[in-house]
Amino acid sequence: MSTLFKCDLSVIIPVYNLEHFITPMIESLKGQELGEYTMEVIFVLNNCSDKSEEVIRESGIDCKILECEPQGCGCARNVGYEHSKGEYVWFLDGDDWLIDETAIKQALDKAQGQNIIRVPFSSDSYHYQYFSMVWQYVMRRDFIKEFRFRQMQPAEDDEYMRKVLHKAGVSTSTYWTLPSVDKELYYYNFLREGSNMWRVYRGEKI
C-alpha cells in the first residue's frame, strides 16, 4: 500500500431506512479475514427515519458514520468518497452482503496494480449481468477522483459507471473483460421489499 493512503480499502455504504435489512452486511464485514490488508467502513445515513443508525452502532462494527442531507444513493456515495482514505474504494449496498469471509482479501489481491477490477456476484432472483451495478467493482481511488454520482434515482450509478468504464478503455458491453476475481464474493439482494428496484417493479415513481 502506498504511504499516501491511510488504509488499503474504503468500503462506502449508503443507508436509507435499512433497520431490518443491514445486519447481514454488517456481520459479513465484521467477519472478514483481511490478512495484511487494512480497511475502513463508512456508513452514510441518508435521511433515515428508522433505527438504522442504532442498529449499526449496537453491532459493534468498527466504522465511521456520516450523514447526508439530500436524499439518494448518489449523494451518500459522494459524501462517503470525500471522507474516505483508502487506496481502493468499494461502493456497497447496505441490504446486500459479502458471501465469503475472505472476500475483501481476494478482491484486494486481484486489485494490486489495477485501476479497476470486477467482483462476480450471486443472487437468488437476479441472473443477468449489467455494467452499471457499482458494487461489482473495486476501484483505485486516484483513478475515479474526477467522477461524482449525480443526484438522481434510480440508476444513479448508470452515468457514473459509463464514465469510469470509458476511462478504463472498455465499453458498457465489454466491461466483463476487466480483470475479475475468480469466484462470486457478493450477494445481491434483488427486489428487497422497500428498495428502489422493488418500487420500480411495482410501478411507483421514484
Q: Is residue 153 part of a domain?
A: yes
With respect to residue 29, please indicate whether it lies within any of the assigned structural domains: yes
For residue 1, being part of any structural domain is answered with no
Assess whether pLDDT exceeds 60 at residue 196.
no
Residue 188, Cβ neighbours under 10 Å: how many?
Answer: 21
Q: Which range of residues forms the domain containing residue 51?
A: 7-201
CATH number of residue 69's parent domain: 3.90.550.10
Q: Tell me the C-alpha distance between 130 and 138, whole Å.
A: 16
pTM above 0.85, yes or no: yes
Q: Is the pLDDT of residue 161 over 50?
A: yes
3-state secondary structure (DSSP) of residue 107: helix
Q: How confident is the model at residue 125 (pLDDT cuts 50, 70, 90)?
A: confident
Q: Does residue 2 fall inside a structural domain? A: no
Total domains present in the chain: 1
Q: Is residue 206 part of a domain?
A: no
What three-state secondary structure class fits 76? Answer: helix
Q: Is residue 136 part of a domain?
A: yes
Note the pLDDT of residue 199. 42
Provide, rounded to the nearest whole percent, the portion of the chain with pLDDT above 90. Answer: 79
Convert the pLDDT of each residue in 44-103 to its tens digit.
999 899 999 999 999 999 999 999 987 788 999 999 999 999 999 999 999 999 999 999
